[in-house]
Amino acid sequence: MSEIKQLAYALGAQIEGITISETLSDVQTAFIRKIWHEHHVILFREQKAKPNEIIEFASNFGELDDHASTPFYRLENFPQLMEITTRRVNGRPSETRNVGRNWHSDYSYTQRPAAASMLFCVEPAPVGGDTMFCNMVKSYETLSKPMQKIVDELHSVYDISLTAGLFQRDLKEVEETRKLNPPIAHPTVRVHPESGKKALYVSERVSHFHGMTSEESKPLIDYLCYHATRPENVYRHVWRAGDLLCWDNRTTMHMALTDFDLTQSRHMLRATLRGEQSGFIVDD
């Protein structure tokens, strides 16, 4: 029997009584979907899972991304998993040791932004290494009606170059990644295809609004990010080994905090669910 424990006021729920390495029934899958849509972030604790088992579990909820837009970060032999780690990879420092350092939703700089992400904690940092999440549905709903009307008409231009820490990685790989992912515009307000809820879709990786200058856009981008990430709208996750944390990128943003020692081991595996075709490449 599965039980639900709310993690924070704004978003987040822990689901107990489900083992991710075991085959899910249709009833269990539907139950998880329901709780996920209600709480936006869901947590399974004290799990043991091999890479293929993480992939099999994630496949119950949609098409898995092969991470071709960031091909250098894939787990060897498992392209459906991104390796997010401070451990050395192929004899050199990991290129994912500093990912996620500003507020964002995953793969927002692609034509098929991630629908959802599932991050499995193999080894947490000894101290720190938390991840913060904010509720973008509530962010939209708590805007004034005039502001909602403004953002309803806008498109956010996402630029991978605004990823914090990007240029601290291998510069050759960074340039190739930028070529694979030119700036792209997505609606600033998205309607969730399953729940029907409206959510803000703007982050610190937005350079400007399509058709507006950077100078015109910046005050509004700054305000919307501030509004979305106020403490009362945030859940802060403290990682434990065996955590599988799943979030809906269409209704949340997240940020990986830099509050840990990068010389210490922290090792995660991420499966990514592909989202709907969206947006258009821009050159303004």
User: In the predicted model, what is the mean pLDDT of residues 111-124?
Assistant: 97
Q: Which residues contact 226 (CB under 8 A, 6 or more apart)?
A: none
Output the domain CATH number for residue 185.
3.60.130.10
**For 229-270, what is each residue's pLDDT tens digit?**
999 999 999 999 999 999 999 999 999 998 999 999 999 999
Residue 208: CB atoms within 10 A of its CB come to: 22
| pLDDT at 32 (0 to 100) | 98
Q: Which backbone phi and psi does 38 adopt, to 5 degrees?
A: -75, -35
Quote helix, strand, coil % in the chain, to nearest 5: 25, 30, 45
Q: Is the residue at 284 inside a domain? A: no
Confirm whether 93 is domain-assigned: yes
Q: Which pLDDT score is estimated for 283?
A: 78
**Residue 34 φ/ψ, nearest 5 degrees:** -60, -50
Instruction: With cut-offs at 50, 70 and 90, classify the pLDDT of residue 284.
Output: low
Record the tokens describing residue 30, joined without a space: 């539907």
Please give the residue range of the domain that contains residue 222.
Answer: 3-276
pLDDT of the residue at 168:
77
Residue 173 falls inside a structural domain: yes
Number of domains making up the chain: 1
Percent of the chain's residues with pLDDT above 70: 99
- Measure the CA–CA gap between 13 and 96, rounded to whole angstroms: 27
In a domain, 109, yes or no: yes
Q: At 58, is the pLDDT very low, low, confident or very high (cuts 50, 70, 90)?
A: very high
Q: What is the mean pLDDT of residues 204-226?
A: 97
The continuous run of DSSP H or E covering 241 comes out as: none
Within-domain flag for 67: yes
Average pLDDT score, the chain: 95
In a domain, 243, yes or no: yes
Q: pLDDT band for 1, please (50, 70, 90 cuts).
A: low
In a domain, 37, yes or no: yes
Domain assignment present for residue 51? The answer is yes
